[in-house]
Structures are given as C-alpha cells and as structure tokens.
Amino acid sequence: MGDTGIGALLIRLRTGRGWTQQRVADEYNALEGRATKTGKEIGRYEREARIPVPYTRRYLAQVFGVDIGVLDRAVAVSKGRQGKDKAAETVPARPAVPSRSGAMSAADAAMSADFARFIAQRNADEFVVEQLEADVARLARAYVSHPLMELYIEIKRLRDGAFELLRGRQHPRQTADLYVAASRLCGLSAHVCLDLGDYDSAATHARTARACAEAAGHEGMLAWVRAVESLIAYWTGRYEQAARLAQAGRHHRAPGSIGARLASLEARALAIVGDRVGAVAALADAERSREAMSGHDEVPGIFAFPAAKQFAYAGTSHLAVGGREHVQQAIVSADSAIRLYRSAEDDDQSVGDLFAAHVDLARGHLLLGDLDGTEAMLGFVLDSPPERMSASIVRRLTALGRELGGPQYGGAAQAAHLSERLQHTAVLAASPAAHSPELPT
C-alpha cells in the first residue's frame, strides 16, 4: 500500500468488507457517538474531493481495524501527487527570452502569478467545512428533543459564521458545501421562528435557505425548504398554498424520506380544505414513498422524516378528513407515532410530535364520545412544562379547549374542567415568560 493514495485505500478497505459508503458512515458515527458522517461524505474521501483530517482518520482507522499510520501514509501520497500536479501547472514551457517583448510577457505573467496567490488565500479549508457540517448535524438531531432556547443562539452563531465564510474565498467544492450548510442553518432558523409563532421571520429564513440551496444546486435541500414553506403556509391559514408548495417540492428528485414528508404535508392541507379524495390519495403516496425510499437522509433530526413522524401527520390528516372510520384510523396512527417515538433513542424522540400525537389521540376519543379517554390522553401534555410547547401545539390546545366547551357536551363537568385546563396551559405556553424575547434574525 506504499504508493496508494487515501481514496484508493479507503475504497479497498470498504469493498474488502463488502460495505456500502453509508455502512462506513454508520460505523464511524457509532464510534464517535454522534451522527456526523454520511455516505456522501465517505464518497468524497474516496474521490479525494476532500482529504480526511487527522481527527477523522483516527476514527476511520478504528472502523477498518488498521493502524492510523496506514491512513496517514496514504494521505501523504495523495497530497504529494496533488503538489506535483500544481507544480507541473506552473512550469514554463520554455525559458524566457531576454528581449523587450519577453520583458512585457514576463510582467504580464507576474500579474497571473499574483492572481494565483490571491486564489490561494482562502478563508475556509476542508477542516473548517467538515467541522461546520458536523455541528449542523448535531444541532439538527438535538433540535427535535431539546428545549428550543438551548439551541437557537448556537444556530444563529453558526449561520452568521457560514455567511461570513461565503463572503470570502474558498475552493469551489468548499463553497458549494458552505452553501449547503448555510441553507441548513437558515432552515433551522426558520424552524425556530416557526415554533415561536413568528411566521414572517420564518418565511424570510426559508427564502434565504432556498437561495443557498439553489446556489449549491442541492435538490434535497430545495425539496426540504418547500416542506418548511408548506408548514408556514399551513399555520398561517393558507391551506391550498400549503398543498401546492408540498406538491412543488415533490418535483425535486432527492433521496431519503423527503418524498414521504411532502406527501404527508399535502395530505394534511388537502384534508383541511375538504378535499377528502386528494387527502386520502396523498396519504397513500406518502406510504408508497416510504416503501420506495432510496438512499438515506444526509442529516438526521429535523432534516429527516422518520416513520413515527409520518404516523403523527397521518393521524392529524385522518381527523381532518372526518367520519368514524377515519377517526378510528387517526387513533391508530397517533398511537403508532407515540409507540415508535417512545422506543427510539432519547435524542430522536420529538417532543413536538409527541405532544401533537397525544392531542390528536385525545380529540379522536372525544369525537367517539369517550371523555375519559380524552382526559387520559391529555395527561402527558398537561403535565409537561409549558415552555416546551411550540406555537402550533398552543393552537391545537386552544382549539381543543374550545371544542370541549361547546354546547354538544352540555356543560358536562368533566368537559368544562378539561377545557379550563387546556386554556390555562395554552396561556402559560404562549406567554413571553415561556420563551426568550430575542428571536434569531
């Protein structure tokens, strides 16, 4: 392996085990204890589009059961070849001719040399980009299970840092990677504002996320941003636009679970506007997208759409479609969502989706005339800290409280008591004291 570069070595080690690039990433993440690597990133190392830094090589050596020195020597071979290639580009074809015209051409060549040095002055190397991507993956996973105010300051700091890097100079490959990272950080910022009920700011962040994704030509992020825009339209009462945005997102060809997410969003929006046939068809499309899913989600957490979340969305859609059969199916779907989230690792248990599924379960029991079941399902929500509740959960609680206070329940003491508790919790969760006053801008 003495003259083998790092790319060829990694391919040899991986294929010798019969592993896919994603399998290598999974093994790496298991050792590091964080979901920082993807199959795409391993592919970059194998193509030598990026050279793994010493920290990364340490874990790759453990993954493949080889001494880290083997990888270090392969990196040296690759960098040596790259250095020779660069040197060859600067070797003149023939000696300079000491004439007046030669002096002019030499001065002109000096200008080119100055520009080459300008290009070499980069503000982001492969390690900077790799660390930024790892931080984005960590925040994306933590977002679904940790208190929002623990994360938003770091999201803003990293996003502003990515913007600053992009205003400088990098290798074109690194520029594209930075645009993708900036797109994801803007997407996280959009979700922060969405969860806090600041829909105008969420839309602004989403537009910037889409601009960054377009600059990078990243189909997966373009589709994901459409999903966020669909969410914003849904929670601002523009249900038909929410459905159209989800449909637009489905035109992007992207691997992973994004197809199931977009179809689920479309189903929920269509159900709200009374398009029962379209909603049921979209729910079926979501299931087919899940079954036919190709590849993995590049980044975990908020950028993925696990089966548990799909069941949660399906529950809400079936309730909106209405009718006893769909209400019963909503109960089954919401219960499946809760069961799957409870069996997941702590960092993957989406607090927001658990709240939503419990509220849907409660409403399903209510529509079937089971007040005891309604009260039992609301226990998880009502006993939780109000500051963990997003603006969308507050709206769900408020709507259910009003429904319980309606004339159809004849002022039953149990219904009135539940209604009062729901309204009280909604007020606490919506109060400024429950959240930091400063939003990520």
**pLDDT of 113 above 70:** no
Residue 201 pLDDT exceeds 90:
yes
CA 383/CA 380 separation, integer angstroms: 5
- Phi/psi region, residue 358 (left: phi>0; alpha: psi -120 to 50; beta: rest), is alpha
Q: Which helix (H) or strand (E) holds 82?
A: helix 68-90
Structure tokens at 200: 């105008």
- Write the pLDDT tens digit of every residue in 358-407: 999 999 999 999 999 999 999 999 999 998 999 999 999 999 999 998 88
Query: Which pLDDT score is estimated for 85?
Result: 57
Other beta carbons within 10 angstroms of residue 28's beta carbon come to 21
**How confident is the model at residue 90, as a pLDDT?**
47
List b or e across 187-210, with b for residues whose CB sees 16 or more CB atoms inside 10 angstroms: bbbbbbbbbbbbbebbbbbbebbb
CB 388 within 8 A of CB 147: yes
Whether 302 has a pLDDT exceeding 90, the answer reads yes
User: What percentage of the chain exceeds 90 in pLDDT?
Assistant: 62
Residue 65: what are its φ and ψ, rounded to 5°?
65, 40
Q: In terms of pLDDT, which residue wins out, 14 or 170?
A: 14
Tens of pLDDT along 263-295?
999 999 999 999 999 999 999 999 999 999 887
- Note the pLDDT tens digit of each residue in 20-68: 998 998 898 888 877 778 888 898 899 888 888 888 898 999 999 999 9
Check whether 351 has a pLDDT greater than 70: yes
Mean pLDDT of the 163-190 span: 92
Q: Which domains does the chain show, CATH number per domain?
A: 1-86 (1.10.260.40)
pLDDT of residue 92: 45
What pLDDT, on a 0 to 100 scale, did the predictor assign at position 321? 97
Give the model's confidence band at 221: pLDDT under 50 very low, under 70 low, under 90 confident, else very high. Answer: very high
